[in-house]
């Protein structure tokens, strides 16, 4: 009898092994370069990156027509990771209403367009957020002559804002504090700012970082305006990609994490070459001297070093975009300095 049960057990084990051998190939890991988006980007020779294109501190052309800001730099960092050349990026300026559509249709490969990570966008729009590269929140700027020092005193005020989520955020906030207001809606940020300066509205509502940059961009003229203290929403801003291309998601995500890691390690655009002789295993992996982190993404093993050589670390990117405004880094500090910016180990 015992012999019979042992025979049955052996047969079951053999059948289980056979089934696993048949099923296993279906669950095998994709090869590291199995990304249709990465393949298209390499074939094209440029990264198509969606930005707002009119947002100070995030994406706005300078006097020479070069796109500047933290969103623009994030795009260049991805190009540096993929090509080793931050210049291989084509910026596509999009309105708030165009951002997700352009990504869904393949007009752009990634969007960094003052885009807030929300559940609705990620569950209904066929897009996925890679990271949060800026923690922000909606606020207000007003002329000092209005003599308003808090948003609770904006009763009956006309408020300029962009069409879309800002409308819902303002409606929820003012309903909560039981204060009537008059929204003045625009689809373009530059038109909005011109209207505000022309006194077509009493206040201008946007992300606090954008308002601080707007105020700073006016030079001495900015002294006539003040930022109100209220931050009325959570706005985790980041890059988004199309769902279904996990390898491309990895590339966009770990480009941001590489910039954070570089800041943690003290590696900057200026000193990156001096780390080549480091004995620190984490530095060796980061520079591609050891390991195969790059090939795991379908990239050169020097992908992270290329990012920092081109764009610097996260702190350098943040400073270029916001330091001149006097805006505190706040939640965008590294975790080790009390902020929320945190990268998983690159190993």
What number of residues does the chain have? Answer: 347
Question: CA distances (Å), 149 to each of 86, 102, 154, 226, 237, in order?
Answer: 43, 39, 9, 8, 27
Which range has the worst mean pLDDT, 112-116, 195-199, 243-247?
Answer: 112-116
Report the 3 state secondary structure along the chain.
CHHHHHHHHHHHHHHHHHHHHHHHHHHCCCCCCCCHHHHHHHHHCCEEEEECCCECCCEEECCCCCEECHHHHHHHHHHHHHHCCCCCEEEEECCCCCHHHHHHCCCCCEECCCCECCHHHHHHCCEEECCCCEEECEEEEEEHHHCCCCHHHCCCCEEEEECCHHHHHHHHHHHHCCCCCEEEEECCHHHHHHHHHCCCCCEEEEEHHHHHHHHHHCHHHHHHEEECCCCCCCEEECCEEECCCHHHHHHHHHHHHHHHHHHHHCCCCCCHHHHCCCCCHHHHHHHCCCCCHHHHHCCCCCHHHHHHHHHCCHHHHHHHHHHHHCCCCHHHCEHHHCCCECCCCCC
In this predicted structure, the answer to whether residue 14 has a pLDDT above a threshold of 50 is no
Domains and CATH numbers, the chain: 36-135+237-321 (3.40.190.10), 138-233 (3.40.190.10)
In this predicted structure, the answer to whether residue 331 has a pLDDT above a threshold of 90 is yes
In the chain, pLDDT over 90 holds for what percent of residues?
82
| 125 phi, psi to nearest 5 deg | -110, 0
pTM (predicted TM-score): 0.83
Computed over every residue of the chain, the mean pLDDT equals: 90
Q: Report pLDDT digits (tens) over 48-65.
A: 999 999 888 999 999 999
Q: Report pLDDT digits (tens) over 251-265.
A: 999 999 999 999 999
Q: Report pLDDT digits (tens) over 89-106.
A: 999 999 888 999 999 999
Give 188's pLDDT tier (boundaries 50, 70, 90).
confident
Distance CA 311, CA 307 (A): 6
Distance CA 109, CA 121 (A): 17
């Amino acid at each position: 009898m015992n012999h019979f049960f042992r025979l049955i057990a052996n047969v079951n084990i053999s059948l289980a092994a056979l089934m696993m051998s048949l099923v296993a190939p279906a669950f095998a890991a994709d090869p590291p370069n199995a990304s249709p988006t990465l393949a298209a980007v390499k074939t094209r020779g440029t990264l198509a990156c969606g930005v707002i294109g009119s947002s100070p501190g995030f994406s706005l052309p300078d006097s020479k027509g070069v796109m500047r800001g933290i969103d623009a730099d994030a795009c260049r960092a991805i190009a540096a990771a993929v090509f080793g050349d931050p210049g291989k990026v084509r910026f596509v300026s999009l309105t708030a209403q165009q951002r997700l559509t352009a990504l869904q249709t393949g007009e752009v490969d990634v969007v960094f367009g003052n885009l807030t990570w929300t559940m609705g966008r990620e569950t209904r729009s066929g897009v996925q957020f890679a990271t949060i590269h800026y923690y922000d929140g909606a606020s207000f700027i007003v002329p000092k002559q209005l003599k308003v020092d808090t948003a609770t005193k904006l009763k009956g005020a006309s408020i300029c804002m962009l069409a879309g989520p800002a409308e819902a955020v303002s409606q929820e906030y003012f309903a909560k504090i039981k204060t009537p207001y008059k929204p003045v809606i625009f689809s373009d940020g530059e038109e909005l700012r011109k209207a505000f300066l022309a006194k077509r509205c009493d206040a201008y509502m946007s992300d606090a970082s954008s308002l601080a940059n707007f105020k700073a961009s006016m030079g001495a003229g900015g002294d006539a305006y003040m930022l109100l203290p209220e931050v009325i929403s959570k706005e985790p801003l980041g890059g988004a990609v199309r769902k279904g291309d996990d390898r491309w998601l990895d590339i966009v995500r770990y480009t941001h994490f590489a910039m954070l890691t570089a800041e943690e390690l003290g590696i900057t655009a200026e000193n990156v070459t001096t780390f080549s002789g480091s004995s620190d295993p984490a530095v060796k992996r980061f520079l591609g001297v050891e390991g195969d982190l790059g090939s795991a993404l379908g990239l050169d093993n020097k992908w992270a070093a290329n990012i920092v050589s081109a764009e610097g670390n996260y702190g350098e990117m943040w400073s270029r975009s916001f330091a001149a405004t006097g805006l505190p880094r706040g939640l965008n500090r590294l975790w080790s300095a009390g902020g929320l910016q945190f990268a998983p180990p690159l190993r």
